[in-house]
A and B are shown apart, each in its own frame.
Chain A
């Protein structure tokens, strides 16, 4: 027998995930515009791997396959991971990362809704620890190749050939055709005792962040605002994350502008915007209380800044996310809202 309520809002997990995927499109479009279509290859590879891994794991776990393949959550993990990996990465890197994310970080914990860590970030962490060299060769934006940022720019066919066979055109090395990320470059040059102002004059940098990549960040920001407008995500995490990152970076910058880059640079380079709207907001692995979300995001911003500025990795979003994921149950326990009618007593479970 069916019981009340008999009506429900026409909504589904699948539709929510689909909207998040849609919201990624402006950023992806910018990516393609500035860095070429190689990213589409990684996204496709990751998607196929994610869906087949998910299906295989569901089969092994004896769970129904169709409903979970249609929930679009595996696709979202795949896209987020693909966007975190250099587009020029060899095909097996994408496959290994995605398969690990889905099989280990998601399905082994119980599948949809049960993963304590963001699967895409687990995939990224595994790759950057296991294959650090492959993970640091990024494409240069169009028009800045050929002697600008890199020695030579590959044609799309050559890029494809490299991704799948690992073969580069005669006389070229991987170092010659790729570059480090703007964040990495900044860190390397700061170690060389250059000042922030000098470094930012390099062609790799644009108006606020990295040339090209700052535009990709704008694309993700646009998509993120769509998610806010459609109430897929609440404002707490993006605002607290970007706000805290801005504040911490601002303080350091004010104290020593020669060694600490301006706060806006931090927001528009690396995965800050993507993380604020798409990664940290993963409902499964983030806190369920609004106060908890603020603490979670502020903590992640603090860790991101610390890892970027003082740590050994080029970007800190992934590790900041994972570290804060660990703290989620505790944060949720201590930020329980006051239940109706319990305001006076203020007792908490």
Chain B
């Protein structure tokens, strides 16, 4: 009886020590889940989720404060990825949050008054220009977040969907519908 107790206590102490050591040895700084979620988010920093950027939204998802369907730029696929990462069921977009085609901001350089409000709004510093100087968007850095559109006092910023060019063209999913008449076509071969 006493032996059994001692053995069990001994095992408990050893295992506890191992666990304690492992917790110190393999300690991870920060919250790895937040980083994992953040890696899935599209980094437009648009705030359409109601949080001031992708990282805060990731933090909110990780703590269970936000749903996974608040990110329109991520699209349906973003929801799928978040769902599989978190092991939850995907949920569709709610009423007014709907994904849009990816766009870039374009400043109408004739109308721009050089107020710098858009420069301050841009979360990724993709607009260049100085006070009272015409501004322009660095298209390759623009995430299409639309945050610059609202502050512009003269409405000179438009969002232009990225058009399909040979350089960004993608092969389509092959669709060959199998129908009743297909059998005759097949038989003729």
Which A residues lie at the B interface, using CB under 8 A? Answer: 10, 12, 14, 63-67, 69-70
Chain B residues with Cβ below 8 Å from A66 are: 180-184
Which secondary structure dominates chain A's binding surface?
Answer: loop
Tell me the smallest distance from the CB of A167 to a CB of chain B, in Å.
Answer: 42
B132 on interface, CB distance cutoff 8 Å: no
A-B contact count (CB 8 A): 27
Closest B residue to A70 by beta carbon equals B183
Chain B residues with Cβ below 8 Å from A63 are: 178
Q: What 10 A-B pairs have minimum CB-CB distances, sorted nearest first?
A: A66-B183, A67-B183, A64-B180, A66-B180, A67-B182, A70-B183, A64-B179, A64-B178, A67-B178, A12-B186
Interface residues on chain B, size class: 10 to 19
Chain A residues with Cβ below 8 Å from B22 are: none
Contact B186 A67 (CB under 8 A): yes
B187 on interface, CB distance cutoff 8 Å: yes
Closest A residue to B174 by beta carbon equals A3
B189 on interface, CB distance cutoff 8 Å: yes
Closest B residue to A67 by beta carbon equals B183
C-alpha gap A67/B181 in the complex (Å): 8
21 contacts between A and B (CB under 8 A): A10-B189, A12-B189, A14-B186, A14-B187, A63-B178, A64-B178, A64-B180, A64-B182, A64-B183, A65-B180, A66-B180, A66-B181, A66-B182, A66-B183, A66-B184, A67-B179, A67-B182, A67-B186, A69-B183, A70-B183, A70-B186
C-alpha gap A66/B187 in the complex (Å): 11
Known A14-B186, A64-B180, A67-B183; further 8 A-B contacts with Cβ < 8 A: A12-B186, A64-B183, A65-B180, A66-B180, A66-B183, A66-B184, A67-B182, A70-B183
C-alpha gap A66/B120 in the complex (Å): 64
C-alpha gap A316/B179 in the complex (Å): 40
Chain B residues with Cβ below 8 Å from A69 are: 183
C-alpha gap A66/B180 in the complex (Å): 6
Chain B residues with Cβ below 8 Å from A12 are: 186, 189
C-alpha gap A70/B185 in the complex (Å): 12
C-alpha gap A63/B178 in the complex (Å): 9
C-alpha gap A14/B185 in the complex (Å): 13
Tell me the smallest distance from the CB of A111 to a CB of chain B, in Å.
Answer: 11
Tell me the smallest distance from the CB of B180 to a CB of chain A, in Å.
Answer: 5
C-alpha gap A274/B33 in the complex (Å): 56
Chain B residues with Cβ below 8 Å from A65 are: 180
Chain B residues with Cβ below 8 Å from A70 are: 183, 186-187
C-alpha gap A236/B37 in the complex (Å): 47
Chain A residues with Cβ below 8 Å from B179 are: 64, 67
Chain A residues with Cβ below 8 Å from B186 are: 12, 14, 67, 70
Tell me the smallest distance from the CB of A202 to a CB of chain B, in Å.
Answer: 51
Closest B residue to A63 by beta carbon equals B178
C-alpha gap A69/B184 in the complex (Å): 12
C-alpha gap A188/B189 in the complex (Å): 54
